Amino acid sequence: MPWTKVYEDRSEFAAAVKKDPNLRGLTYRDAILEASTQLLEHDKDFFILGEGVDDPGGVFGTTKGLADRFGDKRVMDTPLAENGVTGIAMGAALTGLRPLLVHMRVDFMTLSLDQIANHAAKWGYMFAGAVKVPLTIRAIIGRGWGSAAQHSQCLQAMFTSVPGLKVVMPATPYDAKGLLTASVYDDNPVIFIEHRALYEQIGHVPEEPYKVELGKAIVRQKGSDVTIVASSQMVTEAMKAGRQLKNDGIECEIIDLRTLKPMDRVTILGSVNKTGRLVIADNGWKEGGYSASVSAIVSEEAFSALKAPIQRVALPNVPTPASHVLEAAYYKSYIDIIEAVKRITG
């Protein structure tokens, strides 16, 4: 199906369009913009707020033009006050609105962790369902060009460590639109993390609104030798790795998690039970990272199927350095995934 396909580059998508001229392509960035636009059009309870959402640049293009079209009450610039504004958005959500709070960088969310972890995440449980928190928080992972330690983090491990949150990380334009729409209509706080390196990625995106169900992973590629569990930008790397490994006769089953919390254990365990080998590729740090959560569940629940040590491809245990030389040494790519697969196959 065209929407499950990951197009690694524009030429690949162009080729697909040649075959099927009805295939509608959109970038990941525009998919987010389209979801937001349609939500603003169709749902009067929905609004967007955040620092610079009305900026001419429109948060790297993802909110471009919306303030002009929908006005500053529905697309609302805010002071730089992350904790306060998160609580304010949560308060609005408690009354039944569906706010979408936008952060240019996930790094700034450390400031609002109290409202996220001690409030939004706990409200439904603490009041035994008397209240709902239909709040979605978009946050972008930056990377490269010397962004350095405070503008490049992948903090999913922080969020997945807190019961009550949902954590979503789309890897394709189709998912970016469908998961964002589903997140907004979810009655729970959702942390929606985008990777800026994906913004230019193109793929099939239907025009009409649709949802992609939260909590369900998707198998991007079937294979019998090894399972690769990835999310966000690491899915692209995993697909690349999978293609090269095929040439070497290794068939990878590639799972795109889509939602990190709640985790789709069934899909992960099903695959590992089949392949017996697991590589986890995560954009975050390895030590204390989300990759450990996947690993731990598999070694608890599919231990007898495992034929080799679980491998994790994730960042080394240091903050992001600025110099491009150090950045190059820091970030992981398909090459690291290939190496990890090879360590446990053959």
Partner 1 sequence: MELDKPQQIKLFTSMLRIRMLEEKVVELYPAQEMKCPVHLCIGQEAIAAGVCAHLNKDDYLTSNHRGHGHYLAKGGDMRALVAEFYGRSTGCSKGKGGSMHIVDTSAGMFGTSAIVGGGIPMGVGAGLSIDLRGEEKISVIFFGDGAFDEGVFYESYNFAALKKLPVIFICENNFYATNSHQSARHAGSRISNMALGFDSVGTSVDGNNVESVYYAAATAVERARSGHGPTLIEAITYRWKGHVGPGTDFEAGCRSEDELKRWMEKCPIKKYRAKLIEANTLDPDLVARITDSITSEVNDAVQFALKSPLPTADDLMTDLYSE
Ligand X SMILES: Cc1ncc(C[n+]2csc(CCOP(=O)(O)OP(=O)(O)O)c2C)c(N)n1
**Catalytic residue positions, numbered:** 82, 151
CA gap 19, 232 in Å, rounded? 27
Q: Which does 43 bind (CB under 5 to 8 A by kind): a copy of itself, ligand X, partner 1, none?
A: none
CA 241 to chain centre: 19
What x/- string results for residues 128 through 147 when contact with partner 1 is judged by CB under 8 A? xxxxxx-----------xxx
Q: Which does 188 bind (CB under 5 to 8 A by kind): a copy of itself, partner 1, ligand X, none?
A: partner 1
With respect to partner 1, which residue has the nearer C-beta, 151 or 277? 151
Does position 161 bind a copy of itself by CB under 8 A? yes
Q: Which residues bind ligand X (CB under 6 A)?
A: 51, 80, 82, 104, 108, 111
Under 8 Å between Cβ of 283 and 237? no
CA angle 255, 256, 261 (to 5 degrees): 115
- Residue of the chain from 16, 17, 94, 219 that contacts partner 1 (CB under 8 A): 94
Counting residues that bind a copy of itself (by CB under 8 A) gives 54
Say how many residues make up the chain.
346
Does position 62 bind partner 1 by CB under 8 A? no
* Cβ neighbours for 36, distance < 8 A, ≥ 6 positions apart: 48, 62, 63, 66, 100, 180
Does position 303 bind a copy of itself by CB under 8 A? yes
Does position 140 bind a copy of itself by CB under 8 A? no
CA gap 34, 29 in Å, rounded? 9
With respect to ligand X, which residue has the nearer C-beta, 149 or 328? 149
Q: Which does 219 bind (CB under 5 to 8 A by kind): a copy of itself, partner 1, ligand X, none?
A: none
Q: How many CA atoms lie within 13 A of 152 on its CB side?
A: 18
Q: Closest distance between a copy of itself and the C-beta of residue 209, in Å?
A: 31
CA distances from 144 to 192, 195, 329 (A): 21, 12, 12
Nearest CA among 324, 332, 283 for reference residue 147: 324
Does position 126 bind a copy of itself by CB under 8 A? yes
Does position 287 bind partner 1 by CB under 8 A? no
Does position 145 bind a copy of itself by CB under 8 A? no
Q: Which does 290 bind (CB under 5 to 8 A by kind): partner 1, a copy of itself, ligand X, none?
A: a copy of itself
